[in-house]
Amino acid sequence: MTVGRFAPSPSGRMHLGNVFTALLAWLSVRSQDGKMLLRIEDLDPDRSKRAYITALREDLCWLGLDWDEEMPLQSTRGAVYTKAFSQLDTYPCYCKRSELHDASAPHASDGTFIYAGTCRNLTDAERADKQRKPAWRVRVPEETVSFCDGVFGTQEEKLAEECGDFIVRRSDGVYAYQLAVVCDDALGGVTEVVRGSDLLGSTARQIWLYRTLGFPVPQFYHVPLLVAPDGKRLSKREKSLDMAHLREKYTPETLLGRLAHIAGLTETDAPIAARELINQFSWEKIDREMRVIPTDF
Ligand code: GLU
């Protein structure tokens, strides 16, 4: 059976881009009679707010995007991440952000630095000398990860060269998104991951973690980003496109009608309920082109 998920972060009110992704994730699962999970990513305690968690559930209900099960909050799953972490070949990294910057390594596809390996082979004495709490990096092999994304097609990353050893636990003790997302989706039995194409660059790393931890790898679908009429990425700062404002301006049907049309699922942007879109959905209709939203959205 297909198992999909919504994995929103409660760091703000849901935004038009999140609604677009949630709609496609939901349609994919419902069109295959699968199971939908809600998995709230409140990993970062500084950025997650309880009020946003409540609002997320309400906004999804308002849209008519239901789920069959809610997974435990990430903030309660430290033991799961600790276990996975202990199975990885990790080492402490004492580099400061500015030092990473100075090493002027090229950027990985998601904008993070390709780690130069500065702390990879420190001796115990050198580690004892450092006066700061380390982050933890996982040692990646000289390996090429390839996968076929359901929207973006064949993708390939040379892990060591194009990504480098990456952080799986931050210096404040919080486990990194890369590790948590893999553990959570694997333990939830997720078979397909639908999310924004801003995360395409993280996927090779995550697939490598799935394999290293002995988990089956799900199918990935990265959905095109929505962009403003001037071509710029929609930002969470544009309050007029968050759900508080969208719910004042639209009904669920008028909002989904416009989004379904932008996605390429329907001929017109006539109002339509989520469940009426199920039999119009097909991944073949979703290409990788960014979607420019109309000026009057
Ligand atoms: N929590 C992430 C977001 O809201 C999505 C992570 C994922 O789907 O893997 O953008």
CB 49 within 8 A of CB 11: yes
Q: Could you report the per-residue pLDDT of 193-218, keeping only the tens digit for each?
A: 999 999 999 999 999 999 999 999 99
Q: Could you report the per-residue pLDDT of 19-57, keeping only the tens digit for each?
A: 999 999 999 999 999 999 999 999 998 999 999 999 999
Q: Model-level pTM?
A: 0.95
| Closest atom, ligand 1, to C-alpha of 8 | 4
Distance from chain centroid for Cα 111: 15
How far does the centroid of ligand 1 lie from the alpha carbon of residue 121, in Å?
A: 33
Question: Angle at which helices 16-31 and 50-63 pack, to 10 degrees?
Answer: 50
| Closest atom, ligand 1, to C-alpha of 198 | 10
| Closest atom, ligand 1, to C-alpha of 41 | 1
How far does the centroid of ligand 1 lie from the alpha carbon of residue 48, in Å?
A: 13
Give the rounded percent of residues in the chain with a pLDDT score beyond 90: 87
How far does the centroid of ligand 1 lie from the alpha carbon of residue 42, in Å?
A: 10
If you take atom 10 of ligand 1, which residue's CA is the nearest one? Answer: 8
Provide residues with CB under 6 Å of ligand 1.
Answer: 7-9, 41, 181, 195-196, 199
How far does the centroid of ligand 1 lie from the alpha carbon of residue 7, in Å?
A: 5
CB-count burial class (<10 Å; 0-12, 13-18, 19+) for 237: exposed
* Model pLDDT, residue 231: 87
Q: Concatenated DSSP letters for the chain?
A: --EEEE---SSSS-BHHHHHHHHHHHHHHHHTT-EEEE------TTT--HHHHHHHHHHHHHHT---SEEPPPGGG-HHHHHHHHHTS-EEEE---HHHHHHTTPPBPTTSPBPP--TTTT--HHHHHH--SPPEEEEPPPS-EEEEEETTTEEEEEEHHHHT-SEEEE-TTSPBPHHHHHHHHHHHTT--EEEEEGGGGGGHHHHHHHHHHTTPPPPEEEEEPPEE-TTSPBP-TT-GGGBHHHHHHH--HHHHHHHHHHHHTS-SS-----HHHHGGG--GGG--SS-EEPPTT-
* Model pLDDT, residue 108: 66
How far does the centroid of ligand 1 lie from the alpha carbon of residue 199, in Å?
A: 8
Is the pLDDT score of 105 beyond 90?
A: no
Residue 11 CB coordination number (10 Å): 14
How far does the centroid of ligand 1 lie from the alpha carbon of residue 197, in Å?
A: 10
CB 260 within 8 A of CB 266: yes
How far does the centroid of ligand 1 lie from the alpha carbon of residue 177, in Å?
A: 9
* Model pLDDT, residue 233: 85
Q: Could you report the per-residue pLDDT of 108-155, keeping only the tens digit for each?
A: 666 677 898 999 999 999 999 998 999 999 999 999 999 999 999 999
Residue 152: name the closest of 117, 105, 110, 201 by CA.
Answer: 201
Out of 28, 41, 197, 221, give the residue to mutate to test ligand 1, the one with the largest number of ligand atoms within 8 Å of its CB.
41
* Model pLDDT, residue 106: 67
As a whole number, the mean pLDDT across the chain is 94
* Residue that is written with structure tokens 């990430």 in the block: 74
* Model pLDDT, residue 99: 76
CB-count burial class (<10 Å; 0-12, 13-18, 19+) for 187: middle
Is the pLDDT score of 104 beyond 60?
A: no
* Model pLDDT, residue 102: 66
Out of 38, 192, 199, 221, give the residue to mutate to test ligand 1, the one with the largest number of ligand atoms within 8 Å of its CB.
199
Measured distance CA(262)–CA(283) in Å, rounded: 14
